[in-house]
Amino acid sequence: MTNPAKLEKLFSILTMAFLLSFAWGCHLRSSEQKTSAATKRKSLFRLGLEDILNLADCHSKDSGHRSRLKEFLHWLSSTTFNSIFLV
């Protein structure tokens, strides 16, 4: 893959996916009531990515799946992202 236009599209999609996962991880870390030691060790990106993948799983038997999905969609459609921070 050496086409500059295709590479530009690929990197832009990867950047958006990373930022979305990172921002959702920031939101989860700031909103969680109970955080286990394993959750605290995870990076914000991984925390967000794993939760987004769980939300995309249609066959999830998790009881809070529907409420987390509603929360994610509400967060995604909000006009401000207060939980994103840059260093």
First-residue to last-residue Cα distance in the chain? 33
pLDDT of residue 18: 94
Phi, psi of 53 (to 5 degrees): -65, -40
Read off the tokens for 59. 């066959």
Q: Total domain count for the chain?
A: 1
Say what the pTM is. Answer: 0.77
Q: Do the domain assignments include residue 86? A: no
Give residue 20's domain range.
4-77
Would 73 be classed as within a structural domain?
A: yes
pLDDT at 83 exceeding the cut of 70: no
Q: How far apart are CA 37 and CA 33, in angstroms?
A: 13
Mean pLDDT over 37-44 rounds to 82
Residue 48 lies in a domain: yes
Residue 41 in any domain: the answer is yes
Q: pLDDT by residue (tens digit) across 56-82? A: 887 777 777 888 889 899 988 887 766
Decide if 45 is inside a domain.
Answer: yes
